[in-house]
Amino acid sequence: MFILFVILGDSSLCPKTVKLITMEIKNIETIICNLCLQLIAVQQQILSRTENNGIPSVEELNAQSRLINSMDKMRKMRDKLLKEAADEANDPAAMPAPKSDPPPYGPATFNRYTHLLREHATATADAIVPIEGKDVNLRWFIYNLFQYYKPVKQRLFITDQYNFHHIVNMEEVSRQVAAFLNERMAA
């Protein structure tokens, strides 16, 4: 079975936002397998005859020909689907750009709380931190804080602190933050 992933956006996006193209390919391959089994059955029927009668009849030849042609058509359909999916995956214009929300806080607020980046590894999903008099999810704040350290075109702010964990793969974000902090310390 072929599995083809078309990734939308960057690698910090959760697997739920990754488009998986397998069902059609799996269905096509199942049909090809069934056609192969039918062809084998016809050939075994011919081979099981005595030596004098081992020549296939016209009906058997026609059945084999139809099965082989059907398998070839299904293989071409599968190959076409794989090619289209690969072309779409490699075409940046075909992929919708992830839509960024406006930053939940301005750069000045994030500058005051830059020290929270160091807590990326220990922040739990339900950790709360007071930011400008409002209690906010620490992971959500760290994610958005880290966006300010990315190039402008790569920033993807998320304002919904209650559902952002469905969109963001925090393990990947934590790895990126750790690499950033290590690079910053080395400089």
HEC profile for 127-176? CEEEECCEEEEHHHHHHHHHHCCCCHHHCCECCCCCCHHHCECHHHHHHH
Q: Please tell me the distance from the alpha carbon of residue 172 to that of residue 167, in angstroms, as a whole number.
A: 12
Mean pLDDT within 39-61: 79
Residues 86 and 115 in one domain: no
The model's pTM is 0.48
**Which among 56, 90, 124 is the end of a domain?**
90
**Confidence (pLDDT) at 97:** 56
- Do 21 and 86 meet the contact criterion of CB atoms below 8 Å apart? no
**Confidence (pLDDT) at 124:** 82
- 57-104 pLDDT, tens per residue? 888 888 888 888 888 888 888 888 777 777 766 655 555 556 677 888
Q: What's the mean per-residue pLDDT of the chain?
A: 76
Q: Does residue 96 belong to any structural domain of this protein? A: no
Residue 40: pLDDT band by 50, 70, 90 thresholds? confident
Q: Does residue 133 belong to any structural domain of this protein? A: yes
Mean pLDDT within 113-124: 82
**Which among 58, 90, 122 is the end of a domain?**
90
* pLDDT above 90 coverage of the chain, percent: 2
Q: Which of 6-15, 43-52, 64-73, 118-127 has the lowest mean pLDDT?
A: 6-15
Q: Which of 164, 181, 175, 180 is nearest to 16 (CA)?
A: 164
**Confidence (pLDDT) at 95:** 52
Residues 59 and 25 in one domain: yes
Q: What letter represents residue 39's amino acid?
A: L
Q: Please tell me the distance from the alpha carbon of residue 82 to that of residue 4, in angstroms, as a whole number.
A: 8
Residues 131 and 74 in one domain: no
Residues 143 and 74 in one domain: no
Q: Please tell me the distance from the alpha carbon of residue 106 to that of residue 112, in angstroms, as a whole number.
A: 10
Q: Does residue 53 belong to any structural domain of this protein? A: yes
Residues 76 and 8 in one domain: yes
- Do 120 and 142 meet the contact criterion of CB atoms below 8 Å apart? yes
Pinpoint the alpha helices (H) of the chain. Answer: 23-47, 58-90, 107-112, 138-147, 170-186
Q: Does residue 76 belong to any structural domain of this protein? A: yes
Residue 22: pLDDT band by 50, 70, 90 thresholds? low
Q: Which residues have C-beta within 8 Å of that of residue 43, sequence separation ≥ 6?
A: 64
Mean pLDDT within 36-51: 80
Q: How far is CA 135 from the centre of its chain?
A: 33
Assess whether pLDDT exceeds 80 at residue 24: no
Residues 62 and 119 in one domain: no
Residues 72 and 117 in one domain: no
**Which among 37, 61, 90 is the end of a domain?**
90
Q: Which has more pLDDT, 5 or 175?
A: 175
Residues 55 and 30 in one domain: yes
Give the domain extent around 157.
107-186
Residues 82 and 17 in one domain: yes
Assess whether pLDDT exceeds 80 at residue 174: yes
Q: Does residue 100 belong to any structural domain of this protein? A: no
**Eight-class DSSP state of 104:** S
Residues 10 and 82 in one domain: yes
The tally of domains found in the chain comes to 2
